[in-house]
A and B are shown apart, each in its own frame.
Chain A
Amino acid sequence: MKLESIKDFFVTQYGIITSNRFGIFGAAIILFFGVVALLAPWIAPHELWDSLRDSNGKLAMLRPPSLEFPLGTTAMGRDILSQMIFATRTTFLIGLVSGLISIVIGANIGLFSAFYGGKVDEILMRFTDIVYGMPFLPFLIVLISLFGRNIWFVIIAICCIVWRTSARVVRSQALAIRQRQFILAAKSRGCSNLRIIYGHIMPNILPLLLLYTSFNIAWSVLAEAGASFLGFSDPDNLTWGGMLYNLWISGKIRTAWWWFAWPSICIILMVSALVFISRAYEEVANPRLKQR
């Protein structure tokens, strides 16, 4: 029975995403990146940091895309295709983990704030306002300089910032649901507060939660790219933003267009794919959009 309802859930989600052409497009891209991320060590033709030599034995520095190096090479003679494949893995991980954690934080703060109201609402929402005032990069710089460049601190920093919007949106929606008659009916049945929050309010804003999960992942990917480009990422775990950073410090940004193009295109593709999926969910959360 439990398994069946989980299956039901995924069937419904599949239906929502595929009901929209953009949704299909987005899902296909995410699926592609997901498979690449999962199989990275097996499909990458070269090691991440190997300096490659061509058939003449010369270091393959800054080669444009060719049959031998499909996406070109870096200034150190490293294969960009392999770097892209490994970077997909890290970027995907950071995006997914921080996107999910931030929606959990945001949803809980929003739900509790709306349900309890009064002082709880006041405290949680003023806290959210404070977080709204926190700039992401300086916050990350402080965190990194205190604890060192590590992928988990990047994730923590992103989580600390990204949840704020979802908290506000979830709160406003939960406020509306809380006033509905069936919440009062549930209370009269003797349901505990937690049961009402998670059992009665949350299921009613599920489309919104999924929408914001998707948004949050997109924001996390963007934030990570920005932070990495400035050099605040884990040097051992290359990301797309990290590749752009390496390009920037090599000083070849005007000549090696291929080094610049692939990570940028992937960031754009990933974020827009997530936005397209959000769009499909938005039509469920707000059916009026469909008519356009």
Chain B
Amino acid sequence: MILEIENLKTHYQTEKGVVKANDGISLSIDENEVVGLAGESGCGKSTLIRTLIRLVPKSAHVTADKMEFKGQDILSMPDKDFREKILWQGIGLVPQSAMNALNPVYRVGDQCSEAIQAHTDYNKAECERIVEKLFDAVGLQAGMMKAYPHEFSGGMRQRSMIAMSLVLNPALVIMDEPTTGLDVLVQERILRNIKEIRKMSESSVSILLITHDISVIAEMSNRIGIMYAGRLMEFAESMELFNDPYHPYTLGLKNAFPSIQALDRELISIPGSPPSLLGDLPGCLFSYRCPFVIPECEKARPPDLEIKPGHFVHCIRTDHVEEFRKLAGDKKTWQSSKSAT
């Protein structure tokens, strides 16, 4: 087990009250596994990443029943230890909008080397050799190490960021929207690069892939989590999740994405928008947009039910799933939800 999180809560103290950006998230990542997290904007994906690598602002209050990286408790670890031993050596990051994640005044190769030098005693030549190898792996020429970020295209910057995240052979790489803002061909290439790197690297690399692009997640992940309003709605093996979804939100998301097999199918979106994360909402946070809502949904927070081994659903009406699946394909179903009327 590389990463194990149980009941992780990241709450921001603001003047208006407590904002529950992450509210009770439990997930685990095995060795050499890709776990994908999908969800719409503002569902707490980025907060989860920042919590994992301790880059949340001071106003954030983080609690968890368990937050372990390779068996080490990374919640209570002192900042200095965490920065020196876990960051980048254990957990690498490909940040969101890698376009801007390179410092414009340094050569790209030097920035990659800096990450190595900050954590190890390798000399310059050794650093350059490591970076060169990784540049090669992501399909960048070694000569590009001498270039400045502005000389790179968006895809090249993204690939150099992926190379940079791998310089210290971390056990886990968090990729925050690695393909956003790139055209499909470049996206495809980057996804292929990621796959190749996983094959060639000596030690196993697990990836936590975070994006709002379901197709990217479907392509890459072993297991998938669907996030909504700071909670995990459903978490399962990827085939299982797509073939056998239980949560109404997952059903809705599936409708909203075009499928290559059913070209003439009309795309159905889920009316309404996610609730404000401010304050205390007692029940299921999706109940406001859920067409299958019953009064009980709004009373208490649903438990994370384990429907099948490894398949968790955050819903109390899983026994009616057959009916849901039938109705979910119909546009009228969604228009009947509270937020639509």
Identify the A interface with B (CB < 8 A): 118, 180-182, 184-192, 195, 199-200, 203-204, 206
Contact = CB atoms under 8 A, between A and B. Distances in A.
A190 B105 contact: no
Contacts of B252: none
Contacts of B84: 190
B119 A190 contact: yes
Nearest to B100: A181
Q: Which of under 10, 10 to 19, 20 to 34, or 35 or more describes the interface residues of B?
A: 20 to 34
B55 A188 contact: yes
Given A182-B104, A185-B161, 13 more contacts: A181-B97, A181-B101, A182-B100, A185-B95, A186-B103, A188-B53, A189-B87, A189-B88, A189-B114, A191-B118, A200-B103, A203-B105, A204-B104
Contacts of B115: 189-190
Contacts of B96: 181
28 contacts: A118-B58, A181-B95, A181-B99, A181-B100, A181-B101, A182-B101, A182-B103, A184-B55, A184-B95, A184-B101, A185-B93, A185-B95, A185-B161, A187-B55, A188-B53, A188-B87, A188-B93, A190-B84, A190-B87, A190-B88, A190-B89, A190-B115, A192-B83, A199-B114, A200-B103, A203-B106, A204-B105, A206-B105
Contacts of A184: 55, 95, 101
B106 A190 contact: no
Contacts of A181: 95-97, 99-101
Given A184-B95, A185-B95, A203-B106, A190 B118 contact: yes
Given A181-B97, A184-B55, A184-B95, A189 B118 contact: yes
Contacts of A187: 55
A182 B88 CA distance: 15
Contacts, number: 57
The 4 closest A-B pairs by CB, nearest first: A190-B87, A181-B100, A185-B101, A188-B93
B261 to A, nearest CB: 38
B102 interface: yes
B210 to A, nearest CB: 14
A292 to B, nearest CB: 25
Contacts of B119: 190
A200 to B, nearest CB: 5
A165 B33 CA distance: 54
Task: Give the residue among A181, A192, A199 with the most B Cβ atoms within 10 A.
Answer: A181
